[in-house]
Amino acid sequence: MNTVIARPFHFELDPAHAALVIIDMQRDFVEPGGFGESLGNTVEPLQAIVPAIARVLAAWRAMGGLVVHTRESHAPDLSDCPPAKRLRGSPSLRIGDVGPMGRVLVRGEPGNQIVTALAPVAGEVVIDKPGKGAFYATDLQQQLQAHGITQLVVTGVTTEVCVQSTLREANDRGYDCLVLEDGTASYFPAFHAAALAMITAQGAIVGWSATSKELLDVL
């Protein structure tokens, strides 16, 4: 076990049974011209966490740990995208529409690819998920069980939506989760802070949080 200085108290990391999960660091959310920007958001807060995740990813790969990447994505015919999701709000581009990086949130399109700095390599798990949480309608649970994983180190976007949804279900499934404070982000900084507070409240009711440096210090 490696002791990570974390909040609300230290996290005992077991590298042999831990996976690094990188949630939805895809062009549609992180780069200008994608779905995130079409909702009226500024993408700079999401771009700002890429270096921290890249450092952790390099260290995790060096120690031979399991890496899981997720992408929020839908089939080309949108059969796994309920109308209630596609038609909500008033974005300038809806899921499936053609934008500057191809069809928005559709598998195989340029915008649905993970940003270059964090791109998967051979042997890493890539989960295409039609919902917010990474467990919904995917084989993530089976993949983790096959590798004997009991702990998740979670990064990605956005903190209050896909990250928190994944953490809450992981907690219900019995995983101990550590979320990286500078490896997650929201289009709304106040939402990021609130989500971290909710995750770590009441004695790590959902999980622990730490900085990338605090994690790297023990890897």
Catalogue the active-site residues: 24, 129, 162
Task: List the structure tokens of 193.
Answer: 């802070």
**For the chain, the helix, strand and coil percentages under 3-state DSSP, each to the nearest 5:** 35, 25, 40
The secondary structure element, H or E, covering residue 85 is: helix 83-86
What gap in Å lies between CA 216 and CA 141, rounded to an integer?
26
Backbone dihedral angles phi then psi of residue 189, each to the nearest 5 degrees: -55, -35
Whole-number Cα distances in Å, 30 to 50, 67, 112: 9, 20, 10
What gap in Å lies between CA 144 and CA 122, rounded to an integer?
17
What gap in Å lies between CA 123 and CA 164, rounded to an integer?
26
Helix crossing, 164-172 with 189-204: angle to 10°? 20
- At a CB cut-off of 8 Å and minimum separation 6, what does 186 contact? 45, 157, 158, 159, 160, 161, 192, 195
Radius of gyration from C-alpha coordinates of the chain = 16
The residue type of 139 is D
Q: Give residue for tokens 């500078």.
A: 182
